[in-house]
Structure 1
Amino acid sequence: MTMFRYALAVFLTLGMVAGVQAERLKDLAKIQGVRTNQLIGYGLVVGLNGSGDQTTQTPFTVQTFNNMLAQFGINVPPGTGNIQLKNVAAVSIHAELPPFARPGQTIDVTVSSIGNAKSLRGGSLLMTPLKGIDGNVYAIAQGNLVVGGFDASGADGSRITVNVPSAGRIPSGATVERSVPSSFDQGNYLTLNLNRPDFTTAKNIVDKLNDLLGPDTAQAMDAGSIRVAAPVDSSQRVNYLSVIENLEIEAGQAVAKVIINSRTGTIVIGQDVRVQPAAVTHGSLTVAISEDTSVSQPEAFSDGQTVVVPRSRVNAEQEMRPMFKFATGTTLDEIVRAVNQVGASPSDLMAILEALKQAGALQADLIVI
């Protein structure tokens, strides 16, 4: 109960910040066309200490290894049987190519086992091309893995695993070989896409830009997109954006929401949540059933037999809790105070909020995740 009240107090503190805080434009919107691109590849990690793939169950590891040897003019003689490559693992590699990345720059890569390798600790990734969704190679990855987890086992079958030893990272492990075309320096306009579409935020951005740069410089296309006139020259466009992206904008208030995580019991109540007049009472009925046994013995010198007689006890307790009332326009502070007075648990509060929503008294979106 103490932890629940503490959590509600934290939510209250976060939600009751006075006034509307201005945010930078760069935190509210992204420039259309300036984006990351996902890359993926398939390769081999070598140098493992016997923790690689069991190739009898992952034949593609042997096939990949043989294909690599063939590129160096080495052919494995047929009929050699099942090759056991305990220090080799087949892996997938993925990375994000940042916007404006140029050939020669490096990016981080993540390496994950796709076979049954126990650990990639101590391994090295061999040269692997990373492709985009269009099938073109945009980077080449290679290097030594940094693995945060480890795996250890004993002869008696005991085993311990810390974190995830079958995945790791290579900082600056891939070199960019091809840049992605960008529309940043094309046309006379730029489009700003809001991270959270909101009509009020879009209007405030347009008003701020037009006040600074002149009338009709910015136009709101909808609640999530704003078109802004921009210089044609790319260098001037960079200077132009460095100014406007640091403008302080008052963001519009989000829609009132109550978020419930039914798995963890976490409840988050937004600042603008309001409750219409409603009376609430919530109690719990506890039914306890206990089973006892007693021995029944016959009288002396009789023909009866000793038997075991079951005895059941049923006890029902109804926990009495007072009814509390929400007045018109009840705020977050008053909701928390009323719930704390009756000592409601997270599961009780979930039931109360759901009932208020069904009754039409909760002025907020109730979202269960």
Structure 2
Amino acid sequence: MFKKLIFGLILLSFGTHIEAKMSRLKDLVDVKGVRKNPIVGYGLVVGLNGTGDGGGEVTNTSLKRMFQKLGLNPQNEISSKNVAAVIVTAELPSFSRVGQKMDVKVSSIGDASSLAGGTLLITPLKGGDGNVYAVANGSISIGGLENGKKFATTGLIPQGAVVERELQLDFDKKKSLRLALKSPDFTTAARIEKTINQELGGKYAIAKDSNTVDIIVPIQYQRKIVQLLAIIENFKVHTDRIAKIIINERTGTIVAGGDITVEAVAISHGGLNIQVNNKKKDGDDGNIRLVDKTTTLNDLVKSLNALGATPEDLISIFQALKRNGALVGEIELI
């Protein structure tokens, strides 16, 4: 008996006509120089209930050095299952100030089985330039009961790091700004340029390429960059996107935009038959579905679903349609 499956298919469509979406500029672009900066450090987690590294050379050496810094000089070899060596990571915002707190992630690098209940000792966090920008410590949280069992060697310390050094940015003195599109597209870049110039009332923006829009700071906003960006980031722009299908063959999940179209074609896959812009011939069985010419992928999927297609069938059909040239859009396998 044929077992009907629930498809892992998401169609981002509400009809055959897709209108360009209006999006705020802040959701479309990043401002050059305004980003999170990764910082990292090596530390020790103590207070584990026998779930630490125990016997690891790196951990034991680090533990011995820690005692020496505290003025202790143990003569015997140190080994404890209550200690784990970890890597500590965080993201330092561009405009962080000294004393500001931020979350940190703690990950085991030894053979510890769990960081649950542990406390991170004071750990300096450095940037790519070798400078210490923050110091982290505190009690580790590994989430709820089920998540804790699955990912017990990774945890978080909410507000566990304190900023000790600020990034040197003369942001307010800038005479120009550069916007980088999160999803590069020539059409969207041109629309951003047009919108900014219309709203500011002058030729201040220019789209350099599909990824970049440069802005000359108007005289009235010089040394008022924050106010300028607060205005610009709320401008709304019609966005455009490439027609694309994302396929995960391992899970059978398909994500497709509703603006993807299918040209005239006949499909025969196993016991499934679909004809796009073809008349039904005498003798065809009832397993043939007719679909109008230049239909959307949404309509095609509905017809395939009605015939009992599985996710594997859909993936094979989409790939064949693309090779045939009947599917207007890109296919990306993940």
The alignment status of 1:162 with 2:162, answered yes or no, reads: no
Correspondence for 1:3: 6
Aligned residue number for residue 323 of structure 2: 358
**Which residue pairs with 2:61 in the alignment?**
63
1:240 positional shift:
1.2
Say if 2:162 is the partner of 1:175.
yes
1:241 equivalent to 2:258? Answer no
Which residue number corresponds to residue 269 of structure 2? 282
In structure 2, the residue matched to 1:343 is 308
Report what 2:258 is aligned to: 271
Structure-1 separation of matches of 2:15 and 2:43: 49
Structure 2: state its 5+ residue gaps: 272-284
Change (3 A) 1:258 1:15: farther
* TM-score normalized by the length of structure 2: 0.87
Structure 1 residues 103 and 96, CA gap change in structure 2 (3 angstroms) = same
Q: Which residue pairs with 1:223 in the alignment?
A: 210
What residue is the counterpart of 1:368 in the other structure?
333
Q: Where does 1:130-209 land on structure 2 (aligned, <5 Å)?
A: 130-148=125-143, 162-182=149-169, 184-209=171-196
Query: How far apart, CA to CA, are the structure 1 residues paired with 2:207 and 2:229?
Result: 17
CA drift at 1:73: 2.1
Could you tell me which amino acid in structure 2 is paired with residue 208 of structure 1?
T
Q: Distance in 1 between matches of 2:286 and 2:252?
A: 21
- 1:245 partner letter: E
Partner of 1:127: 122
8 Å contact kept, 2:11–2:298: no
Q: Is the 8 A contact 1:257 1:364 kept in 2?
A: yes
Amino acid at match of 2:45: V
Between the aligned residues of both structures, percent identity stands at 44
Match of 2:101 in 1: 106
| Residue-by-residue CA offset, 1:216-264 (whole Å, 9 max, x unaligned) | 1111111111111225777511111111111111112x11112211000
Give the 5 Å matches for 1:67-78: 67-77=65-75
Gapped runs of 5+ residues in structure 1? 152-160, 285-319
Shift of 1:24: 0.6
* SS of alignment partner, residue 137 of structure 2: strand
CA distance in 1, matches of 2:186, 2:215: 16
TM-score normalised by length of structure 1: 0.79
The one-letter code sitting in structure 1 at the alignment partner of 2:188 is T
Higher relative contact order structure (alpha carbons within 8 Å, sequence separation ≥ 6): 2
Cα offset, 1:54, TM superposition:
1.8
Structure 1 CA distance for aligned equivalents of residues 303 and 61 of structure 2: 67
Match for 1:65: what amino acid? L
Give the corresponding residue for 1:328: 293
- Cα separation, partners in 2 of 1:165 and 1:2, compared to 1, 3 Å: closer
Residue 258 (structure 1) aligned with residue 245 (structure 2): yes
Q: Residue 41 of structure 1 aligns with which residue?
A: 41
1:307 corresponds in structure 2 to: none
Larger radius of gyration: 1
Mark the CA change 1:325 to 1:280 in structure 2 (over 3 Å): closer, same or farther: farther
Structure 2 distance, partners of 1:14, 1:36, is: 36
User: How many matched pairs?
Assistant: 318
Q: Which amino acid in structure 2 is aligned with residue 109 of structure 1?
A: V
Distance 1:274 1:137, change over 3 A: same
Equivalent-residue separation in structure 1 for 2:163 and 2:222 (angstroms): 23
What is the distance in 2 between the residues matched to 1:68 and 1:362?
Answer: 63
Q: Which amino acid aligns with 1:341?
A: A
